[in-house]
Structure 1
């Protein structure tokens, strides 16, 4: 089972965002829907062919979004795992697409159009299984395997580490929580007390995978008993989610593995329609009419 579920960010230009993540990176556009907490925002999901937990990155589209200011607390540096033998392919691909990058051993560092730092790390893992490969310009044996790490920048790393240790029994060693052989969390101290301001390219939250609704409810009960800052537990249709603010101020989500993205679209046609989970379907006309204009 994967530990990561998805990571969600803010973007300004939707067409530029779609092109980068589908055409350049070879991910599938798995869901075109709405931000359920603000029906004016589109919410785009990208992932492998199945939209499997651990493969997904999402964006809230806010056309007039300003610059971000990453100061006292923020998430950054989204790392992805590459299959064995794919490093030179990705290096050549970035060069051919005129994407500037920095190379370090088995890693490539570059940015997306919103200046989000992305890290591609070649691993010893095999390619995606056939039913997870996307029909894309990127060959199936070179496609991204999934999320590998994200970096918590917080005022007091010890308090953030305590949160993960007490709630989940995840241990921090030298600023790293090793979740699995291929997944980890980095935690380090922010270097200013200036307030963070969200903007284009900000990471809104990271979501970790929970087996099912029963496990999520147990985690919710535990978090309440331990008096963490619980924001809410809610159904998103595609999964059920628990949101908690860790002590550094970063929103952490825990999301169930299912039911997945086929509740409102067939697998073969994911991302092809403006999809709404069943509980929002009766608001479709109103939602479509109040979406942010593109410019």
Structure 2
């Protein structure tokens, strides 16, 4: 069965400079692509990932300065989980405490917040030692290795569970967890006590993307999703990968994204993230787009 592990998580920030400093300077991620939201070219879209932009390692952000604060509740992603090597949590606790990220250390995991309240978690993973390291900001033996999964608050948990098992091929475990067969990814369904739906805003997640190998699998998954009675966006060319979006019955926006072509399609590995990158279909609007963007801190 295909491994539909996490491809990326896309979140919202209202303070892009602060966001850039935290995710690169504190967490040690690499800015591998500085682009724009292809559906709203007035907004930056920043991609943070490992040293080479491997699918499954990137957390991305839309820059929406006027966005209200995220409102947790059903229909939202509650938490993003990163992998770290075993024995690294004390290091991360001290580093995040110094960054005022409110770390809370548990058995094998560490909860914390980014400066806008984005809920994040580090989980020790014995398999992470062979992964590609991130950047020199953090010692290689401590560095984050990628995204393990997400917690989601569903307005219709059993319907969401069917999407995870019947469409994405996850195994249902105890305590609300779902995993891929090879344990490369996990999703947890969280029961919310809120009596109203959540609302995505700054400090929250816009959508979570699951990995597919190529266009052939993407189109096969489109047929599978639509056969289950769920509407989709249809095939979308994002240039760096190809996508399909659908809102699962519990209210969370899911994306399916291909492994390629990849972030090095228009920049060398050495130059990733250093310049404003636009897909070919936006290149003729570069002057207009650049004039509407504020400079990012270096």
- CA deviations on 1:245-274 (whole Å, 9 max, x unpaired) are 100111100100001001111111100000
**Structure 1 residue 69 and structure 2 residue 68: aligned?**
no
Report the counterpart of residue 21 of structure 1 in structure 2. 23
Report the counterpart of residue 144 of structure 1 in structure 2. 144
Q: Contact between 1:2 and 1:53, CA under 8 Å: does it hold in 2?
A: no
Number of matched residues? 292
- CA deviations on 1:28-85 (whole Å, 9 max, x unpaired) are 0111100011111110000001111110000000112221222331101111111122
Report the counterpart of residue 215 of structure 2 in structure 1. 213
Q: CA deviation at 1:213?
A: 0.8
Q: CA deviation at 1:282?
A: 1.4
SS in 2 for 1:254: strand
Choose 63-72 or 51-60, whichever is displaced more.
Answer: 63-72
Report the counterpart of residue 188 of structure 1 in structure 2. 190
Residue ranges of structure 2 left out of the alignment (5+ in a row): none
Normalization by structure 1: what TM-score?
0.93
Residue ranges of structure 1 left out of the alignment (5+ in a row): none
**Counterpart among 77, 88, 91 of residue 89 in structure 1:** 91
Choose 155-164 or 41-50, whichever is displaced more.
Answer: 155-164
Q: Contact between 1:128 and 1:140, CA under 8 Å: does it hold in 2?
A: no
Taking structure 1 as reference, are residues 95 and 197 closer, same or farther at Cα in structure 2, changes over 3 Å only? closer
- Cα RMSD, aligned residues only: 1.9
- CA deviations on 1:143-168 (whole Å, 9 max, x unpaired) are 11111120110122101011222223
Tell me the distance in 1 between the aligned counterparts of 2:269 and 2:60. Answer: 18
Report the counterpart of residue 154 of structure 1 in structure 2. 154
Tell me the distance in 2 between the aligned counterparts of 1:183 and 1:268. Answer: 29
**Structure 1 residue 266 and structure 2 residue 268: aligned?**
yes
Q: CA deviation at 1:182?
A: 4.2
Q: Contact between 1:5 and 1:54, CA under 8 Å: does it hold in 2?
A: yes
Q: CA deviation at 1:188?
A: 2.6
- CA deviations on 1:131-187 (whole Å, 9 max, x unpaired) are x33342201121111111201101221010112222233232332111232420001
Q: CA deviation at 1:114?
A: 1.2
Q: CA deviation at 1:223?
A: 1.7
Q: Where does structure 1 differ by over 6 angstroms across 4 or more consecutive aligned residues?
A: none
